[in-house]
Structure 1
Amino acid sequence: MSRDRGVPVVAVIGGGFSGAAFALHLVRRHQTGAQILVFEPRAQLGAGLAYSAEDPSHRINVPAARMSLYPDDPESFQRFVDSHGVRHTDPSILTPGGQAYPQRSVFGAYVQAELAPYLEKGAISHRQSRVRSVSRSGDRWLVVDETGSQTPADLVVIATTHPSPQLPSVLRAHATHPRLIADATVSEALANVGADESILIVGNGLTSADVIAMLSRQGHRGNIMAISRRGLRSRGHLAVAQEPFGDFLSHPAKRASELLRRIRQTLRSAETQGLSWHSVIDAVRSQGSGIWQALPMEERRRVARLARPFWDVHRFRIAPQVEQVIEENLKEGRLEVAAAFLKSIDAKDQGFDVVLASKGREQSPRHFDRIIVTTGPAHDGILASQPFLQTLQAAGHLNNCPTGLGIACDATSRAVDSTGKADPSLLIAGPLARGTFGELMGLPQVTEHAVFVADEAAAELRRLQATVPDCSLHPHPSSGPAAIANPTIQLERQRVRS
């Protein structure tokens, strides 16, 4: 399949935040003239699973002033909130300290508004379909979607969502039980939960907190028990933010044990200066990429295996509104948080008789009307989660990251094949690259990574221009920022649908 069509094609698989941000920055920063096709089955680009949530209890978990599509304009989303009357439609948006934590769907609307001018002018095209296979066809890629449409592409950018949670082994025999909710992030997953049902939540992170907030909003009155092996739960924010505290890059740690020791030392130093642990964790987060790059692979694996649960509950904080709901449930005795794991389950028509264990000791059996799994994405199973990823792995183009945190890629986000070679025409964007880049779950870091991958893609398109004479990379009339007339005015016409 020769390159004789004049305009190169960039196929972006996944149109949630990562894919949308990549496409946006590629067209804004680089006048490549490429045709940018984003494959996303949802009706709108940019929201994905996280920001398409319509439940009012689902809120962003950092202040709006720290959420933005643009690293050099951190208050972009805050301006959107202020200019679109969100505070008038959401009386609970502000904390006592005046920080705004809008509903997640508002952020999804913001991303859609930023994309709208480029979609209208054709600089970015939305293919509302799932990709079924991606394969080599000569020196290009062939992308086949669920409609059977075949799209040749010069570059493929994988920006798909996280895989669904993996059921704990003792639950797998009951996967189809009507009172087991295997993935609480699925739309309407909690719709049939009775107000007085007793519930066991397996997992105690952000999703667990969202579930508790949703149930409370629905009027749930029954008892809830949330378990994790260590009994840790996501923490909240400081009422008044502090500046990051700590230097972990001047002499970066080479071992996981050394890194953890330095974090503990910095925490003690921060305490003597009247600072909270939040400031130290924020410093680790902001320096995360450099910290991670300095660790050898085996030490990265050790951090991911041993320290990740502790990191997650401090790094990924819940919105103050959600924290208030959880604290109220704890105070009133409706919620119990415990360090335990599932030992055995006896399924009944109306629920489950469960034996929990903690530190090797079994507890007395307890009955729960329903079990909800909120253990988080099964990152190490990403390549088995979608057919097109399976075909790419089977052909040797993709591998699981050795850290167990996504897809293997190099320091320029190029996928690493089965021979260890990086392919410049196959890029990984977003959290699935976190095994290489470290801190790639928070939105600011995902945004920065989208810019980075856009720059890498543009460099590869320029290389194609230099090496393939008949592949014209001159901008066509509908591409590039110059083709967008008055985007600011057009954005003002967008309205939040929440």
Structure 2
Amino acid sequence: MSAPNQRHSVAIVGGGATGVLLAAHLLRNEEADIRVTLIEREGSFGRGLAYSAVQRDHKVNVPSRGMSAFADDSEHFLRWLKAHGYAEGNDPWSFVARSTYGTYLADVLREADRARPGRLVVLSEEAIAVRETAAGIETRLANGTSVLSHHAVLAVGHETQPARGRGIAVRVGSARDTPLDPYARVMILGSGLSMVDAWLSLAEANHKGPILVVSRNGLLPQAHRDVPPIEIDAADVPFGTNVQYFMRWFRDLADETEETGGDWRSVVDGLRPFNQRIWQSWSEHSRRQFLLHLRPWWNIHRHRLPPDLHRRMIEAVDQGQATLIAGEFLGIAQHGDMVDATIRRRGARDEETIEVARVYDCGGVSVDVEASSNPLIRDLVATGRGRPDPLHIGLDVTEDNFVIDAAGQPSRRLLVAGPLTRGRFFEIEAIPDIRLQCARLAERLTGGQVAQARRFPSS
């Protein structure tokens, strides 16, 4: 077991985007006498689920000008792109490959280590449990050792839920995603950003066969457009109202903006600084209504596609290669090399069974933490040291990100960062939101002694 010395120590579990950003923000403060241990079971730091995609067309869905690791240094990512010879560095409106952004995050971590030598330890190990002690918090590893620190932060990011249909459906890029007959008919469950990834993988393999896209609403993500956000005064935002009232206000504002020559995207982006406050002002009933009825509509407008990918997707639909089906997926059965997928189209009474060569499950990454495959999260819930949030879309945390146990008591040592806090903050999926949360956590964990923060160079 490694024990903390007098230097304040923080263990971060998860070496994807959230973990790397938090480590970089902690080490960025020259005034903080701190030691950071970053634990990642995959041994690859900065990539995680989001930025491990290798295809060039798998791009981030935020323009480069919004992807800096540091909110107070908005040019950091663009400088890095230029320094490393990427043409996108000259275009703030570019959308880079996700693999490129993963490389950037790995460089951010390396530069943080170089700037504060001896302060960062990285471990390629799996964390399986945490226990608070009199001296701090113990993070137990699968290899039988432990890391003892003053605080620990869970930053494990997104977790992919098991594919539906008793394992018959396939996740894109998994071991079971083997080559297909290029003229075979396939079905994709879900029509969000994950569906676009599946479609791009098929396109890269020069797939010619029909692609059926089935989702409850049959909606495609909208395209980005380079328009500025409108300015919205907090006094004009109807905090604390019900979802129906809020959506009427939102639609009226979007209509007024477009009637004067503006764009609805300016309204969505102008609302972004208030999104977390809006979510927290709603009752639990309103939040459930939003998740059940409005989230798909919100997602396609809020989480948009790079313009070129959206254009290609629309062309595939217009040319008949991809067909959007609004309906409910009911079940799946294997027979020989083929699959029977049963659906019910929206508005229809009868079920419909369609024979396809493969079903891709792209229904998203949210998973009930009680069904998590992560041993640390399972242990937290099983022992009562943590609990799901009321909506079961993440862990229950305080406003300051401390884990809340089964008795409703907040931890003094264990915090959570990133998508696992979506029940409290909801809008905590994209880099612009995660980096702000990490900056606040870093300030809190370093005692608020943030003087002039060091800006890491971009080389």
TM-score (norm 2): 0.91
Give, in angstroms, the shift of residue 375 of structure 1: 0.4
Measure, in 2, the Cα distance between the counterparts of 1:372 and 1:14.
Answer: 27
Residue in 2 aligned with 1:102? 96
Pick from 213, 229, 239: which aligns with 1:243? 229
Residue in 2 aligned with 1:289? 276
Distance 1:105 1:167, change over 3 A: closer
Pick from 157, 160, 167: which aligns with 2:156? 160
Alpha-carbon displacement from aligned partner over 1:282-326 (angstroms, at most 9, x marks no partner)? 122232122123223332233223221111111111122321321
Measure, in 2, the Cα distance between the counterparts of 1:380 and 1:421.
Answer: 21
Distance 1:408 1:383, change over 3 A: farther
On the 8 A contact 1:406/1:434 being kept in 2, the answer is yes
Pick from 211, 214, 218: which aligns with 1:231? 218
Measure, in 2, the Cα distance between the counterparts of 1:292 and 1:202.
Answer: 28
On the 8 A contact 1:248/1:284 being kept in 2, the answer is no
Residue in 2 aligned with 1:145? 141
On the 8 A contact 1:242/1:275 being kept in 2, the answer is no
Distance 1:30 1:433, change over 3 A: farther
Within 5 Å, which residues of 2 pair with 1:251-330?
251-254=237-240, 255-330=242-317
Residue in 2 aligned with 1:474? none
On the 8 A contact 2:78/2:89 being kept in 1, the answer is no
Pick from 325, 341, 345: which aligns with 1:354? 341
Judge which range, 407-416 or 437-446, deviates more. Answer: 437-446
Give, in angstroms, the shift of residue 194 of structure 1: 3.1
Give, in angstroms, the shift of residue 19 of structure 1: 0.8
Q: What letter is aligned with 1:85? A: G
1:459 counterpart SS class:
coil
Within 5 Å, which residues of 2 pair with 1:183-222?
183-184=171-172, 186=174, 190-222=177-209
Give, in angstroms, the shift of residue 75 of structure 1: 2.2
User: In the alignment, does 2:426 pair up with 1:438?
Assistant: yes
1:410 counterpart SS class:
coil
Give the share of equivalent positions with the same residue, in percent: 25
Give, in angstroms, the shift of residue 70 of structure 1: 0.7
Distance 1:417 1:349, change over 3 A: same
Give, in angstroms, the shift of residue 441 of structure 1: 1.3
On the 8 A contact 1:204/1:231 being kept in 2, the answer is yes
Pick from 385, 394, 398: which aligns with 1:406? 394
Residue in 2 aligned with 1:450? 438
On the 8 A contact 1:165/1:374 being kept in 2, the answer is no
Measure, in 2, the Cα distance between the counterparts of 1:68 and 1:445.
Answer: 11
Q: Where does structure 2 lack aligned partners over 5 or more consecutive residues?
A: none
Q: CA RMSD in A?
A: 2.6
Judge which range, 346-355 or 25-34, deviates more. Answer: 25-34
Within 5 Å, which residues of 2 pair with 1:7-156?
7-29=7-29, 31-87=31-87, 99-120=93-114, 121-156=117-152
On the 8 A contact 2:4/2:148 being kept in 1, the answer is no
Alpha-carbon displacement from aligned partner over 1:136-161 (angstroms, at most 9, x marks no partner)? 34443221222222111221100002
Residue in 2 aligned with 1:477? none
Give, in angstroms, the shift of residue 340 of structure 1: 1.1
TM-score (norm 1): 0.84
Measure, in 1, the Cα distance between the counterparts of 2:176 and 2:84.
Answer: 30
1:280 counterpart SS class:
helix
On the 8 A contact 1:249/1:291 being kept in 2, the answer is no
Distance 1:366 1:44, change over 3 A: closer
Alpha-carbon displacement from aligned partner over 1:71-128 (angstroms, at most 9, x marks no partner)? 11222212222222122xxxxx699x98311111111111121221333423221111
Measure, in 1, the Cα distance between the counterparts of 2:249 and 2:237.
Answer: 11
Measure, in 1, the Cα distance between the counterparts of 2:162 and 2:42.
Answer: 23
Give, in angstroms, the shift of residue 249 of structure 1: 4.9
On the 8 A contact 1:383/1:389 being kept in 2, the answer is no
On the 8 A contact 1:245/1:270 being kept in 2, the answer is no
On the 8 A contact 2:368/2:393 being kept in 1, the answer is yes
Measure, in 2, the Cα distance between the counterparts of 1:244 and 1:348.
Answer: 54
Q: What letter is aligned with 1:165? A: Q
Measure, in 1, the Cα distance between the counterparts of 2:106 and 2:353.
Answer: 49
Measure, in 2, the Cα distance between the counterparts of 1:481 and 1:125.
Answer: 21
Measure, in 1, the Cα distance between the counterparts of 2:4 and 2:25.
Answer: 26
Judge which range, 117-126 or 194-203, deviates more. Answer: 117-126
Residue in 2 aligned with 1:372? 360
Give, in angstroms, the shift of residue 66 of structure 1: 1.4
Within 5 Å, which residues of 2 pair with 1:336-347?
336-347=323-334
Distance 1:245 1:307, change over 3 A: farther
On the 8 A contact 2:78/2:92 being kept in 1, the answer is no
Distance 1:98 1:78, change over 3 A: closer
Residue in 2 aligned with 1:466? none
Measure, in 1, the Cα distance between the counterparts of 2:197 and 2:261.
Answer: 31
On the 8 A contact 2:7/2:33 being kept in 1, the answer is yes
1:133 counterpart SS class:
strand
Pick from 350, 372, 376: which aligns with 1:388? 376
Give, in angstroms, the shift of residue 481 of structure 1: 7.8
Residue in 2 aligned with 1:472? none
Give, in angstroms, the shift of residue 227 of structure 1: 0.8
Q: What letter is aligned with 1:78? A: L
On the 8 A contact 1:65/1:77 being kept in 2, the answer is yes
May I ask how many residue pairs the two structures share in their alignment?
453
Measure, in 2, the Cα distance between the counterparts of 1:363 and 1:435.
Answer: 34
